[in-house]
Amino acid sequence: MEGQIIRTEYSDIMQKSYIDYAMSVIVSRALPDVRDGLKPVQRRTLYDMYELGIRYDRPYRKSARIVGDTMGKYHPHGDSSIYGALVVLAQDFKMGVPLVDGHGNFGSIEGDGAAAMRYTEARLQKITQEVFLSDMDKGVVEFVPNFDETEKEPEVLPARIPNLLVNGSEGIAVGMVTSIPPHNLGEVIDAVIALIQDDQISDDRLLDYIQGPDFPTGGIVVNKDELREIYRTGTGKIKIRGRVEVEQVKGGRERLVITEIPYTMLGANIGKFLNDVAALAEIKKTTDIVDISNQSSKEGIRIVLELKKGADTEYLKNLLYKKTRLEDTFGVNMLAVADGKPETLSLRGILEHHIEFQFDIATKKYQTLLDKELHKKEIQEGLIRACDVIDLIIEILRGSKSQKQVKDCLVNGVTEGIAFKTAKSKKMAAKLKFTEAQAAAILEMRLYKLIGLEIEALMEEHKQTLANIERYSDILNNYDSMAKVITDELKAYKKEFARPRRTSVENAAQVVLEEKEAEEMPVVFLMDRFGYARTIDESVYERNKEAADSESRVVIHCMNTGRISVFTDTGKQHLLKAADVPYGKFRDKGTPIDNLCNYNSAEESVVAVMPLEKVKESCLVFVTQQGSVKRVQGAEFDVSKRTIAATKLASGDRVAAVETAADQDHLVLQTKHDYLLRFPLEEVPVQKKAAMGVRGIRLSSGDLVGAAYILEPEHSLQAEAGGRMVSLNRLKVSGRDGKGTKVRG
C-alpha cells in the first residue's frame, strides 16, 4: 500500500495531540470517577487483589506480588505508582476508611516512608470486599479490555457507598486539580438515604446529615457557616485547627498538649511545625515556651510544649494558630470524572450521581438474578411434570436408539423409530412438548430424585423460586421496592462499618493576636563570613569586641525594634526586622541570612547590610560589576514590602557594592585587573532606584569592577591592589568615565 502525505497545519497537529494527552491524563490517571471515587490505579490494584483471592479472611500476600500482577495485567505505568497507591489505601491517617489492610511498615503520620514492597504484605479490608467488590459475577458493571487486550478489567467498581466523599481525593491533572476532603461514613449514608426518600430535599437539610468534613487526623473546622456555599459550588476553603489541651503539671505550671493536627499538617509538616515553634522562642516572639517534644506514637498525636510558670496559655494558643500551621486551610475543589468528562460537582451532584449508579447496579443485579430464577423455574417445572409421567419417559428411553431421538420426542413429540409397548404410550409421548432446557435436565436427572422426599424438596424449591421471581420482579418494576433494597443495604453497612466523627465543626472566632510589645533596647547585629546572623546585647558585644570585629563580616549597632536593609548582587533589597534575627549569646551560631530574608542563596549573594534608619538618612551609591554607578536618595528604600528591586541592571550585570556617601566625598573604583579610578561623587547623578545608572569607569575586555571605596575628606584609606597596599588618598583625582591607573606589584 502506497504511503499518503497529509498536508496540515503544524499548530493543529500539536493542539490535537496535546488535547488527547491532557484528556488521557485527566480521565485515565489523575482524577477519580464519581461512581466509585477511585482513580484507575487504585481501582486496578483493588480488583487485582480480589482476583488473586487476597480476601480479608485469608492470609496476607507480599505487596511485591500484588504490584507485579497489577502492572503485568492492568496498569503498565511502573511499580512506584501502584505501590504508592497501595500504601495510601492502607494508611488510616490519610483515608477516612482504609480499603487495604497493610501488614508491616506502611509509613507514619510524621512522613516516614513505607518499607520497600518486598518487605510489606497486604490484603483487602472487609469493607472493600463487601461494599466495593461484591456482585462482580452478576454483571453489575461493564468489563473492558486491558491495555494489551489479553485480560478484562472493570470499567468501574460497584461501590455501594459514595467513596468520593467518604475517602476524598487529591490529584493534579493537566490544567486542573481535584481536592476533596474525607467525610464520615455514617453521615454520608444518612444523606444518601434522605435523598433517595425525597429527591426534592433542600441543600440545607442535606447539611443537617453531613455536618462537614471528617478528617482522619481529627482537628476542628472553624468556618461552619461557609460550608454551605462550599458544598453548593464544589469549591472553597475550609479552615481547620489542631486541638490544643492545657494540662496541669507539678509546681503550679501548665503545658500545652496538641492531640490532633490539621489534615494539611500530615507528614514532613509536623517536623516543620516543631521547627516553627522553636523559631518563635528563638526570635523572642514568646519567652514562655521552655521545651517542645514530640511524644506521638501509634496511639495518636501528642506534641507537648512545656511552659514557664504563669504563662498565658490563651495567648500562646493564638500565637500557635497565627504563626504556625496549627491553623491552616484545606482548598476544596470537588472535581471528578462524571459521564466520561471532568466536572466540578456540588455535594448534591455527587450524591445524585451515586444514587443513579446504585439504581443502575441494582437493576443489573436483580435482572441477572431474575433471569437465573426464571431459568430455574423452567427446569423445576419440567422435572415436576416429568415425575408425573416418569413411566412414559422410561419407556421412551428404553425404546430409543439415541439421545437425540429421546430429546426430539420430549421437545417436539417425534415418536418415529421409538419402540413403545402400547399405542396409548405412543399417543401420550407425542403430546409431551417439554422445552429444550427441560429435556436436557430430564436426561441428566438421577434416579434418586424420584424418591418421595426428593420430590417434596423439589416442590419446596419451586415454591421458593416463584417467591424469588415475584420479589425480583417487584424490585425491578417498583421504584419504592428498589429504593428500600438499596437503603436497607446502606443501613447494614452503616451499622457494621460506621465510626464516630473525629473532626469537630463549629464557628470559631477569628484568631486575634495582640502581640506583646518587645521592650525597646539597643542590640548589635553580627553576620559572619558564612552568612550566619544573630543579635546580641550591647554589653555582651563590648566584652567581646575584639573577637566580634575580627570574626564578623558585618557589625551593626541598631535597636531591636528597627529594620535592617540587606542588598544583594541581583539588585534587590530585602528588609529584615531586627526582632526576627535570633537573639542570644555571643557564641550562638545564628541563622543563615538567606533563611531570614527568604531568598535563594544559590542565585544571589549579599553585598551590603545596613540599618534602615541609616539608609533613610543617607544617599546610597550603587556600583555594578560592569562599571555603572548612580546615587539614590535613601528615603526611596523605606517601604513596607519585604523585597523590592533596589536598582535596574543591564543583562548579565551584578551589583558590586552599595555604600552610603555625602556630596563632598570621592569614589574609588577598583577592577579585577587592578585598575583604580578616583573621581568626585558630585559627578555621579542622583537618580531613581529604577534607573540604570551611568558609566563610572571604562573597562578593558574581560575586566570587571571588584570593589568600591568612599573617600571622605581628610580621611586616609588603604586597599590591596597589584599584590601591595595602596594609599587611596594619594591617587590622582580624575573624572568619571576614565580608564583609571594600573597598579603594578
**Residue 440 or 284, more confident:** 440
At residue 664, does pLDDT exceed 50?
A: yes
Residue 33 DSSP one-character state: B
At residue 635, does pLDDT exceed 80?
A: yes
As a whole number of angstroms, the distance between CA 266 and CA 271 comes to 10
Closest alpha carbon to 594 in 663, 638, 531, 684: 531
As a whole number of angstroms, the distance between CA 574 and CA 598 comes to 9
Contact 677, 739 (CB under 8 A): yes
pLDDT of 579? 83
Q: How far is CA 397 from the centre of its chain?
A: 72
Q: Which helix (H) or strand (E) holds 65?
A: helix 63-73
Q: Would you call 74 a catalytic residue per the annotation?
A: no
Closest alpha carbon to 681 in 698, 702, 696, 701: 696
Closest alpha carbon to 111 in 243, 233, 294, 330: 294
Q: How many CB atoms lie within 10 A of CB 216?
A: 21
**Residue 714 or 212, more confident:** 212
pLDDT (average), residues 688-716: 91
Looking at 42-46, 279-283, 371-375, 442-446, which range is the least confident one? Answer: 279-283
As a whole number of angstroms, the distance between CA 681 and CA 692 comes to 17
Q: How far is CA 333 from the centre of its chain?
A: 12
DSSP string, 389-457: THHHHHHHHHH-SSHHHHHHHHHH---TT---SSHHHHHHHTT----HHHHHHHHH--GGGGSHHHHHH
Strands 220-221 and 504-505: parallel
Residue 741 DSSP one-character state: E
Of 21, 60, 74, 119, the active-site residue reads: 119
Looking at 104-108, 159-163, 440-444, 527-531, which range is the least confident one? Answer: 440-444
**Residue 235 or 385, more confident:** 235
Digit-coded pLDDT (tens) for 249-308: 887 889 999 999 999 998 888 888 888 888 787 666 777 888 899 998 888 899 999 998
As a whole number of angstroms, the distance between CA 338 and CA 350 comes to 9
Strands 100-103 and 121-124: antiparallel
Joined together, the cell numbers standing for residue 175 give 490544567
Joined together, the cell numbers standing for residue 453 give 422426599
Torsions phi, psi for 671 (to 5 deg): -100, 170
Three-state SS annotation for 616-649: HCCEEEEEECCCEEEEEEHHHHCCCCCEEECCCC
**Residues across the chain:** 745
At residue 223, does pLDDT exceed 70?
A: yes
Q: Which helix (H) or strand (E) holds 630?
A: strand 628-633
Closest alpha carbon to 233 in 406, 148, 138, 350: 350
Q: How far is CA 338 from the centre of its chain?
A: 21
Alpha helices in 150-267 (DSSP H): 163-166, 185-197, 203-209, 224-233
pLDDT of 99? 96
Q: 18 pLDDT band (50/70/90 cuts)?
A: low
Angle subtended by helix axes 479-497 and 185-197, to nearest 10: 170
At residue 447, does pLDDT exceed 80?
A: no
* Euclidean distance between the first and the last CA atom of the chain, given in angstroms as a whole number: 81
Contact 177, 143 (CB under 8 A): no
pLDDT (average), residues 32-53: 94
pLDDT of 512? 63
Digit-coded pLDDT (tens) for 396-426: 888 888 888 888 888 888 888 888 888 888 8
Digit-coded pLDDT (tens) for 448-459: 766 766 788 888
At residue 1, does pLDDT exceed 60?
A: no
pLDDT of 53? 94
Torsions phi, psi for 48 (to 5 deg): -65, -40
Contact 377, 469 (CB under 8 A): yes
As a whole number of angstroms, the distance between CA 254 and CA 290 comes to 11
Q: Counting Cβ atoms within 10 Å, is residue 441 exposed (0-12), middle (13-18) or buried (19+)?
A: middle
Q: How far is CA 59 from the centre of its chain?
A: 31
Joined together, the cell numbers standing for residue 149 give 487486550
Digit-coded pLDDT (tens) for 363-387: 999 999 999 999 999 988 888 888 8
Digit-coded pLDDT (tens) for 311-321: 888 889 989 99
Cα dihedral 500/506/509/515 (nearest 10): 20
As a whole number of angstroms, the distance between CA 549 and CA 526 comes to 9
pLDDT of 279? 79
> Which residues neighbour 463 within 8 Å (Cβ) at sequence distance 6 or greater?
none
Digit-coded pLDDT (tens) for 78-94: 899 999 999 999 999 99
At residue 237, does pLDDT exceed 50?
A: yes
Contact 34, 337 (CB under 8 A): yes
Residues above pLDDT 70, as percent of the chain: 95
Q: Counting Cβ atoms within 10 Å, is residue 617 exposed (0-12), middle (13-18) or buried (19+)?
A: exposed
As a whole number of angstroms, the distance between CA 196 and CA 420 comes to 63
As a whole number of angstroms, the distance between CA 610 and CA 603 comes to 21
pLDDT (average), residues 470-497: 95
> Which residues neighbour 309 within 8 Å (Cβ) at sequence distance 6 or greater?
251, 252, 253
Q: 163 pLDDT band (50/70/90 cuts)?
A: very high
